[in-house]
Chains A and B, each alone.
Chain A
């Protein structure tokens, strides 16, 4: 499993864009990049997943450069409710038979201030 490095914490203000970069230098060809969000006293929640280039959904965007050795999660116009821990996971979601054993690192603690 590819090791990931992401900042321990980030502060932001309401309405700003938050960008969290995750480094994964030894990402393998079959690995996908997945981000989860965890609020206090809750289990993590899937945000977005990508393989290369850019992926966007209603919650966030994920930017992946051509070499795939890093990725950036972008949260547009954050609100107080976006205060959470964000985890970057890198791993193979295939083969299905082996199960999905993505490893959660320490995550990035994002604090959105008024």
Chain B
């Protein structure tokens, strides 16, 4: 039982390049989320999904796209990376049937845009 797995863990991009971050969870959770965390800051919600085939915008969605084609996977895409998107990205999932709404996080993906 791996929980929430993010790939890749590290990536360096040049401005304008595109890339996709993959999040996979094996807990059969309905809800999945993508956050970004800048140095010394808290986490900000980018996009989230309440079920397979659904996505919604969070606090800071601009410059990102997401897809939830399979229940266990949540993809975060950057179509044209910018230096302002240099950050650590965290994926999380939660159970719709749980009492606490506890978020289970991955270990993060560190992205640097030059």
The smallest beta-carbon distance between A110 and chain B, in angstroms, is 15
Answer whether A99 and B50 are a contact pair too, CB < 8 Å, given A46-B102, A104-B42, A104-B44. yes
B-side contacts of A36, CB under 8 Å: 103
> Which of A41, A43, A98, A105 touches B42 (beta carbons < 8 Å)?
A105
Q: Which residues of the other chain, A, contact B4 by a CB distance below 8 angstroms?
A: 43
Q: In this assembly, does B35 line the interface, its C-beta being within 8 Å of a C-beta of chain A?
A: yes
Q: Mark A16-48, 1 if CB is under 8 A from B, else 0.
A: 000000000000000010101000011111100
User: Are A43 and B92 in contact (CB-based, < 8 A)?
Assistant: yes
Determine if B50 and A98 form an interchain contact, defined as CB atoms under 8 angstroms apart.
yes
Interface of A, helix, strand, loop or mixed by DSSP: loop
Do residues A107 and B101 form an inter-chain contact, with CB atoms below 8 A?
Answer: no
Given contacts A41-B108, A44-B103, A102-B101, contact A97 B42 (CB under 8 A): no
Are B94 and A106 in contact (CB-based, < 8 A)?
A: no
CA–CA, A97 to B41, complex, Å? Answer: 29
Tell me the total A-B contact number using a CB cutoff of 8 A. 68
Q: How distant is the Cα of A103 from the Cα of B35 in the complex, in angstroms?
A: 10
How many chain B residues touch A (CB < 8 A): the figure is 32
A32 to B98, CA, bound (A): 14
- Chain B residues 16-42 with CB under 8 Å of chain A are 30-31, 33, 35, 40-42
| Docked pose: A106 CA to B4 CA in angstroms | 23
Cβ A106 vs Cβ B41 within 8 A: yes
Nearest-Cβ distance from residue B10 to partner chain A, whole angstroms: 11
In the complex formed, the residue of A with least CB distance to B41 is A106
B:52-80 near A, CB below 8 Å: 56, 58-59
CB within 8 Å of B: which residues of A?
32, 34, 36, 41-46, 49, 87, 93-94, 96-107
Task: Please list the 3 inter-chain residue pairs (A to B) with the smallest Cβ-Cβ separation, ordered nearest first.
Answer: A43-B105, A93-B101, A104-B43
| Beyond known contacts A32-B100, A93-B100, A103-B59: 7 more, CB 8 A cutoff | A46-B103, A46-B104, A93-B99, A99-B50, A99-B56, A101-B45, A102-B103
